[in-house]
Chains A and B, each alone.
Chain A
């Protein structure tokens, strides 16, 4: 009896066969396309990868990590990426919050407004990049024509090394805002209206209601958005690449970390250093995710 009996009994169950036939493909797939490559990445980061004879790649220990840190654009890309993340947070969150609060207060047409503000989210990011590159062209672009018509100074937008990065984040915000507006609006609408009624009875104004009710109750959603924004910003690739190609804009001012990894891996074909660079990114993202969750987690609840 014992083990054999349990084994036979399990095999006889219809649940077993259903579960078995579903889990086995999952395991195989994850092994080939997910766990396998992750383990490979760790191995690859410690060797000087030979493209034609991978099994005989010489072991270099932490050499790849030292090498990537000495890449002439390593610190430039790190700095640019961190600045991008900060801008992204500052541009997205307050504006998305303001729109969401107003959407929750509006009496008619909320769904229509939401649907229209959401449009840039569904449109391809590549089309958006091209669109804004046209509009923001300093010589022939429509934006500078508009500015000169109303008497504002014409700006360089994406064409100067000092304004290219913030301008690109403005484009990213324009494209992504609707996504966060929808998440925030759904959260605000779900706050029980009794809380606001009680606050009204206590004689609070809308400003106080926002700071004392809406914001604290939205802490979890805001945290989620912050993490999503941070992780997204640190991996930004498409927008700067489409705007300027892999070289990263005027004076490398839009050369981001993921572009460095891409360049190492697929333009310079140095798989070892590229993977080492990506593992540094992994460690960093992991650290800030944990830090953010520890820092902002509210220690109380209603």
Chain B
């Protein structure tokens, strides 16, 4: 095996100059990692300190460990409802829009019909319009025509299609050969079957990239939920968390506990799916 293996430079024989430069690079990157994660570590311990200690002490670790903050915050704020709302909205928007993007990407790349390019251009041009332009008319539509003011569905239906997703999937589907689809047609497969059993499985990689992207954007969405959702039981996590500022003015240990409750579940997912997140972002960057 060793004979046919890829020729890796033996680490022991690295020239001194390269070892030094590699050491410096590691030192710099490690510093960046510390900057990126230290605030979270501070937050973990801050959420376990009583208020007086948090304000006065310089130490990172608490002298008195307490879960009081979590008890108080869970007694006052319905975090579970907020969490459920966030998951329901982000997951449904992600699932539906990844599906619609794949279908439309397929149709725009593999079908021929009158007005196709015009339709595609119009859909894509909506990406250029800032959200602030449509937020008022969109709110009027959601609230008056659909009666979805202060309803989670109001922030879900508006995310069913994304122009960016359609663009991304079209780019990818262009690389699927026509011959493959024609062969399936000759074998008698229906259009539905071709799409679901042939095209979709081939597109898993851009679909997962898009899913990560859409999910990140929606999980963190603030302005549109702020407009649509008013009552606390219907609000998503970012809104409820922002509300802590008014609920506990400068009671930082409560802020820390609330932030922990929203950060920990995301970190848990990220810790084993970070590869997909990073690949997704790298891919969207290259296609865009």
Contacts and interface: CB of A to CB of B under 8 A. Distances in A.
Interface in A66-105: 99, 102-103, 105
B263 A124 contact: yes
A36 interface: yes
Contact of A22 (B33, B54, B103, B137): B103
Nearest to B18: A107
Contacts of A107: 22
Interface string B216-248: 100110110001000000000111011011100
B107 interface: yes
Interface of B: 21-22, 25-26, 28-29, 32-33, 35-37, 39-40, 42-43, 46, 54-56, 58, 100, 103-104, 107, 111, 113, 119, 122-123, 126, 128-138, 140-141, 145, 157-158, 160-161, 190-192, 195, 216, 219-220, 222-223, 227, 237-239, 241-242, 244-246, 250, 252, 255-256, 258-259, 262-263, 266-267, 270, 274-275, 277-278, 281-286, 288
Contacts of A59: none
Interface stretch (A193-201, A208-216, A278-286, A294-302): A278-286
Given A19-B113, A119-B40, A282-B129, A187 B285 contact: yes
Interface residues of A, number: 92
A149 interface: yes
Given A17-B191, A131-B43, 17 more contacts: A19-B113, A30-B123, A32-B145, A40-B141, A102-B25, A102-B29, A105-B21, A111-B275, A124-B219, A130-B255, A131-B39, A242-B242, A261-B135, A271-B136, A278-B132, A285-B128, A289-B128
Nearest to B239: A126
Nearest to A34: B126
A234 B129 CA distance: 13
Contact of B222 (A33, A115, A126, A224): A126
Contact of A266 (B104, B129, B131, B227): B227
Contacts of B29: 99, 102-103, 106, 113, 117
A21 B270 CA distance: 37
Contact of B137 (A36, A124, A131): A36
Given A145-B58, A182-B285, A224-B288, A265 B135 contact: yes
